[in-house]
Amino acid sequence: MVIGRILAPIFLLPALLFGALFFDSDSNREAEIVRAFDLPPAFLNDPKLQKIISKKRTEYQRHGFFKSLNQAYLFIPMIKDILVHSDVPDEFLFLAMAESGFSIDAYSHKKASGVWQFMPETGRTFGLQINDYVDERRDLVKSTKAAITYLETLHARFNKWYLAAIAYNCGEGRLYRAIKKAGTDNISVLLDEKKRYLPRESRNYIRKIVALTLLASDEDFMINQEYAYLLNRANAYSIAQVKVSRGERISRVAKLINMPAYKLTSLNPHLKYDFVPPKNTQYTIYIPYVKLNEFRQNYKPAPLETFYMLHHVEAGDNLSRIGKKYRVPYKMIKEFNRLHTNMLRIGQKLVIPLSKPLDLKNGKYTVKRGDSLEAIARIFETTVSSLKKLNNIKGSLIRVGDRLSIYD
Break the chain into its structural domains and give their ranges: 14-130+137-232, 238-302, 304-351, 358-408
Displacement of CA 241 from its chain's centroid (Å): 15
Verdict on whether the full-model pTM lies above 0.85: no
Please give the chain's pLDDT, 408 residues, in tens.
333 333 333 333 334 444 434 344 567 888 899 999 999 999 999 999 999 888 877 776 656 555 656 656 667 778 888 998 999 999 999 899 888 888 877 888 889 999 999 999 999 999 999 988 899 999 988 999 999 999 999 999 999 999 999 999 999 999 999 999 999 999 999 999 999 999 999 999 999 999 989 887 776 666 555 554 554 455 545 788 999 987 788 999 999 999 999 999 989 999 988 888 877 778 999 998 899 999 999 998 866 545 677 888 988 899 988 888 777 788 888 888 888 899 999 989 898 877 555 556 666 788 877 778 877 776 676 788 888 888 888 888 888 888 888 766
Helical segments of 44-88, H only: 47-63, 76-84
Query: Is 33 in contact with 39 (CB distance < 8 Å)?
Result: no
**CB-side neighbour CA atoms (13 Å) of 8:** 7
14-130+137-232 under CATH 1.10.530.10, yes or no = yes
238-302 under CATH 3.40.50.300, yes or no = no
Q: How far is CA 158 from CA 62, 162, 352, in A?
A: 38, 9, 48
User: What are residue 148's DSSP bridge partners?
Assistant: none
Q: What CATH number has the domain spanning 304-351?
A: 3.10.350.10
Query: Is 143 in contact with 116 (CB distance < 8 Å)?
Result: yes
Q: What CATH number has the domain spanning 358-408?
A: 3.10.350.10
Domains 14-130+137-232 and 358-408 alike in fold: no
